Each structure stands twice: as structure tokens, then as C-alpha cells.
Chains A and B, each alone.
Chain A
Amino acid sequence: MENSVIFIDIEKRMLTANGPMNLSIHTTIPAGELVALFGESGAGKTTLLRILAGLVTPDKGLIKFGSTIWFDSEKKINIPPQLRNISLMFQDYALFPNMTVEQNIQFAQPEKDQSKVNELLALFGLTEFRKRKPTGLSGGQKQRVALARALARKPQLLLLDEPLSALDAEMRIALQDEIAQAHQLLGVTTIMVSHDLNEVFRLATQVLCIENGSITRTGKPEEVFSDNSISGKVQITGQIARIEKQDTINVVTVISGNNQIIKVIAFESDLENLKIGDRVMVFSKAFNPIISKLR
């Protein structure tokens, strides 16, 4: 399988729920990485994925996969999706209902290779379900078949658009592990849209944060998502919901990004430039928190 650097330099006017926006992406994606496109909905993540797939045409720019030009507005080159050798997978996958699990995977192969089919069945724990039709499978199993099928095409690039967002938390974690394993084993460059921070941390080797159509930060998840300017290793961002003066101190209630309620003791001097509704960071040393398993 060929792995190539992807060069992206494109502009695209978009209409979003918040009005017109200019998607302007200039980046290079190293070969073999599992890259997460992270950002709020409407930021342009899915459009970028669809542009790479060839389903959406940029207004101008250049996309190169290794030395192969996929899109060049000046030279009027636009390689159609089926010639880009990619696999694109959405959360609402469509399996062929009249085919078995095994046939679904076989169908996607560019040339028949039963040993590869067996390998994919084993990789996604589908061996015992190989003769079943999709209707007899759970949501997680169907998603595994869809992933196996996406990989059976031997794509040079795997594009995943929030592939696990329809699954429950436990199933999501199991599939995240399998995606990570498949990525490690097959080494195919993978770009995944996600707004689940947990998923990004578990899976991605690189993150591109996209805000309002532009890349704002890139790097490894631990570099991108931690504030490097403070040595405190427990960092939570949130919004001040309440400030209550008690005795000589203030109890500040902060609602974190994932809706956890945190209470922090603050002194008058800490609150000088803080008010309810402000976005804040709560930090502590890695030494202080105590960890215990949830029931």
C-alpha cells in the first residue's frame, strides 16, 4: 500500500447556519498518520473531508496526494472520487442487505483475495458472523462490517466522518480500539472528523483544530489540548456559573466543557477580573487529585 503526504491548499465559500464562511485550509498531512479534524459543527470539518473525497469542488487551490494532483484549479484538474483510491465512511453506513457479512467485504475488494477477507473478519471480530445478513447484526457489528469493507478496498486514504457517533459509549470505545488496531496494522493514512475529545485522544496521532473555516492549531493531541504555559497537569476549562461568598473565601461553581460541575475555592484577589459567565481554566497539580473507579 502506497502512503503519501497529502498537500492541501484550498479555498471554498460555504453557506453555514451562521451565514457565509470562507473555508481556507493550507496544510500538509504526513503519510500513515491518523489525523483528527476537530472543531464545532459548522466549522468546515465535513466539507474538508468531502473536498478530499472529491465530492465537493473547492473554488480554487491545489490538492496533491504524493506526486499525484487530485485538484488544481489553475490547470483545471479535478480527479473524480472513484479514481482517488479512497474509502469514505459516514455514521450512517449502508451495507448491502441481500449480501452476507463476508460478501459485503468481498464485494469491496478491487481483486478477490480471501485471505485478506479472513484477516479483516478476524480483525473486527466478525469471523463467527461471516454468513449473517446485516439485518441480523447489532449497530456495533454493522459498523465493524462497514469499516472492514472500507479497508477491503485497500484505500490509500481512509476518510471517516464521525463514524462512531451513533453508537453508545461502550461500543464506541470498543470500536475506537479496533480502529486504532486496524490503523496500526494496515498503516493507511486516516482522516477522521470528530468532536469527541475522548475519541481524539484515544485515536489520533495528529489533530487539526478547525474554527470558522481555518486551522487554528495542529499537533499531537496532548500538545494541542493542554495549556503549555502552566505546569499544573490537571486542567479543566469551563464557565463560571455561580460565585458565593462564604466566610473569608468564595466558592466558585464552574461548569466544565462536558457539563461536569466543579467547585473551586477562590479569594478576592482571584476574582478581581472574573464574573459569572466568564470562560475560565481550573488547574491543579497532578499530585493533588485522587482517582477512583466509577461503579
Chain B
Amino acid sequence: MNKLPGKISKVQQSGAILLVDVDVDGHGFSALLIESATHPEWLQVGNTIDLVFKETEVTLAKNLSGIISMRNRMKCTVQRIERGELLSKISLKFQEYLVTSAITTRAVDSLQLALGDEVEALVKANEVSLMKK
């Protein structure tokens, strides 16, 4: 799984649904969560947590323009490409962190991904989990 350390900057709640904003070294992330009426004490503004998301939930885009609903966007550099028959694993450098994306090998080819490429990694807010540190 991908894990980024962050600090909770905002918690917005509507019933059991929570939208939590997290700051990772000055870069904003959002996580959409379901919690019971009383959410855990570690889920408060100012707390340091880990942002967690699965490799298969990381979409890659090149030269992305227009507007998009994905809330979590990371400008990355391609560091490593591990090609599989159907699925490939792309290692990315996001700020000083490593983020991994698993996409189909077809997608790697259609994006013409190469080492050193500048790409954007995108994750939907509802795919991001938070973990107590």
C-alpha cells in the first residue's frame, strides 16, 4: 500500500460521512470516510496520521488539462517501470516520497511512459484511508 505521513487540517462531517483534509508537506489531500457518530479521538484537526491508498487506485495522467473530479493530485516523476504481461508497476517520486501505481501494461504503452517522465498521479477521495500513527 502507499503510505504518506500527513497532518489533519480540516474535518467536515455530515452524519456518518466525514471529509477529512490532510496536509502532506504543504500539499493538500482529501479522504472521504464513514465513521460512527463518535469518531475516534485520533481523527481530529492537528493530529499526525498516515494517509493510505492502494497501488491499484492510483491513476496516471500525462499532460492533463481541463477540470477533473479527482481530489488528490500528485505531480510525480517516473522512477521505475516494472512491466508485467498484463499489469505493470510504476514507481513514482512525489516530493520526497515514493508512490506506486499499478496500471495495465496497455495503459503504460498508450501513455508511452518512460523513466524520468513528469506525470500526475490521481486518487479519488473515497479510496483514501487514514491510519492512526
- Chain A interface (Cβ within 8 Å of chain B)? 222, 228-233, 247-249, 265, 267, 269-270, 283, 285-288
Contacts and interface: CB of A to CB of B under 8 A. Distances in A.
Nearest to A233: B34
Interface stretch (B62-70, B71-79, B109-117, B122-130): B122-130
B100 A229 contact: no
Given A222-B36, A270-B1, A230 B131 contact: yes
Contacts of A233: 33-35
Nearest to B36: A222
B4 interface: no
A249 B104 CA distance: 12
Contacts of A269: 1, 100
Contact of A231 (B86, B88, B102, B130): B130
Nearest to A249: B87
Given A222-B36, A230-B131, A231-B33, 20 more contacts: A229-B42, A229-B131, A230-B52, A230-B129, A231-B31, A231-B35, A231-B43, A231-B129, A231-B130, A247-B84, A247-B85, A248-B83, A249-B102, A265-B56, A267-B1, A267-B102, A283-B129, A285-B129, A287-B32, A287-B127
B96 interface: no
A231 B126 CA distance: 11
Nearest to B90: A248
B132 A267 contact: no
Nearest to B1: A270
A222 B34 CA distance: 14
B118 interface: no
Contact of A228 (B40, B52, B55, B86): B40
B131 A248 contact: no
Nearest to B56: A265
Contact of B89 (A228, A248, A270): A248
B131 A231 contact: yes
Interface string B47-65: 0000010111000000000
Contacts of B83: 248
Contacts of B85: 247
A285 B1 CA distance: 14
23 contacts: A229-B40, A229-B42, A229-B132, A230-B129, A230-B130, A230-B131, A231-B31, A231-B35, A233-B35, A247-B84, A248-B82, A248-B83, A248-B89, A249-B84, A249-B87, A267-B1, A267-B89, A267-B100, A285-B34, A285-B127, A287-B32, A287-B34, A287-B126
A267 B55 contact: yes
Contacts of A248: 82-84, 87-89, 102
4 smallest CB-CB distances across A and B, nearest first, come from: A247-B84, A248-B84, A229-B132, A286-B34
With most chain B CB atoms within 10 A of its CB, the pick from A233, A285, A287 is A285
B132 A230 contact: yes
B33 A247 contact: no
A270 B130 CA distance: 17
A231 B47 CA distance: 14
A233 B18 CA distance: 13
A233 B43 CA distance: 14
A267 B90 CA distance: 12
A287 B86 CA distance: 26
Nearest to B42: A229
A201 to B, nearest CB: 14
A287 B129 CA distance: 11
A212 to B, nearest CB: 27
B38 to A, nearest CB: 9
Contacts of B40: 228-229
A232 B53 CA distance: 10
A128 B34 CA distance: 46
